[in-house]
Copies of this chain bind each other. A is one copy, B any other.
Amino acid sequence: MKLRRLAIIGVGLIGGSLARALRQAGMVDEVVGCGRGRANLEKAVELGVIDRFSHEVGEAVAGADMIFVAVPLGAMRETFAAMRGHLAEDAIITDGGSAKASVVADARAAFGELPANFVPGHPIAGTEQNGVEASFPELYHNRRVILTPLCGTNPAATAKVDVMWRACGADVNYMTVEHHDEVLAATSHLPHMLAFGLVDALARMKENDEIFRYAAGGFRDFTRIASSNPVMWRDICVANRDALSRMLATFAEEMKELAETIGKGDGGHLLEIFQRAKQARDRYVDGLPEAAE
């Protein structure tokens, strides 16, 4: 399989790394970039990530057989709407959004019905760095990419997106839209809320500079994700608000109970929780790949 023309809408770390990986694999003839910032797009051309660019989505997707949408979740709907009437007959659309129900709803709203050639996807890879200069062809090596095709999705389109990601070294997995959003709420969105929430709570304390001064190395690791892009995370929260708010409320209730257990000094119960957590982490998490940074 070789792509004739790949359109990347949103040329940053995620979109730029896909283009670089496909070029390195010899999987694409031409890459067209699309975005708002001229300087970033010119840099992308200079770096050889894209061949040319347009600021207009309609112009960028014209003649493309593969379109990768890597814009913030809050900009998905308008991006899809701008494609209408400009798509080639064989054009396949996929995306990199961190929540899938909202992207599917946006595509449905923008196109009137869900296009059969739209394959919702989510590469689980580093997100703390931004911009095309941070992109690199190995970003997706041994990373998981989750595809969430729907009943009406064209299986041939799904297969083509699958091949594309495998060519980047990724491990492609399938889930329903709802299950994806639950799993990501648990493993990514909830931890980000706790890290943002904790740093914010400490920042609002009196003498907050003193408090941060005594934080040790563990705090640095724990709160690293609180340095992520606030706009992106606002969009993710709004997009995945049902699964995330439910899960965060449940967790808050559990933390309230843990506070009571600590207040009572119930060491036996505390030890049970900590041992179960340590076992789970040592068993499941130590095998994960290192952060992309």
Chain A contact residues, CB within 8 Å of chain B: 74, 124-128, 144, 146, 173, 183-184, 186-188, 190-205, 208-231, 233-235, 237-238, 241-242, 244-246, 248-256, 258-260, 262-265, 267, 270-271, 273-282, 284-286, 288-293
Least CB distance from A268 to B in Å reads 8
Least CB distance from A213 to B in Å reads 8
- Let me know if B210 and A183 touch, CB within 8 A: yes
- Let me know if A187 and B212 touch, CB within 8 A: yes
Which of B209, B248, B277 is A255 in contact with, Cβ under 8 Å? Answer: B248
A189 and chain B: residue at smallest CB distance: B262
C-alpha spacing A221/B187, complex, angstroms: 12
Residues of A contacting B: mostly: helix
C-alpha spacing A199/B286, complex, angstroms: 13
Least CB distance from A229 to B in Å reads 8
- Let me know if A285 and B231 touch, CB within 8 A: no
Q: Which residues of B contact A124 (CB under 8 A)?
A: 214, 216
- Let me know if B217 and A126 touch, CB within 8 A: yes
Given contacts A201-B254, A209-B284, A248-B262, are A234 and B267 in contact (CB under 8 A)?
A: yes
A243 and chain B: residue at smallest CB distance: B262
Q: Jot down 22 A-B pairs with beta carbons below 8 A, ordered by A.
A: A74-B267, A186-B211, A188-B216, A190-B198, A191-B219, A191-B222, A197-B258, A200-B273, A203-B279, A208-B280, A209-B284, A217-B290, A217-B293, A218-B225, A220-B285, A222-B224, A229-B278, A234-B267, A234-B270, A241-B265, A248-B255, A256-B256
Given contacts A212-B280, A237-B265, A248-B259, 5 further A-B contacts (CB under 8 A): A197-B255, A218-B291, A226-B281, A237-B270, A248-B262
Copies in the complex: 2
- Let me know if A217 and B281 touch, CB within 8 A: no
Q: Which residues of B contact A252 (CB under 8 A)?
A: 252-253, 255-256, 258-259
C-alpha spacing A291/B215, complex, angstroms: 11
Q: Which residues of B contact A217 (CB under 8 A)?
A: 126, 288-293
C-alpha spacing A285/B245, complex, angstroms: 28
Which of B192, B194, B221, B293 is A291 in contact with, Cβ under 8 Å? Answer: B221
Given contacts A194-B194, A197-B251, A223-B285, are A215 and B187 in contact (CB under 8 A)?
A: yes
Q: Which residues of B contact A282 (CB under 8 A)?
A: 227
- Let me know if B231 and A271 touch, CB within 8 A: yes
- Let me know if B256 and A249 touch, CB within 8 A: yes
Given contacts A193-B258, A244-B262, A284-B209, are A276 and B203 in contact (CB under 8 A)?
A: yes
- Let me know if A278 and B227 touch, CB within 8 A: yes
Which of B230, B277, B290 is A200 in contact with, Cβ under 8 Å? Answer: B277
Least CB distance from A71 to B in Å reads 16
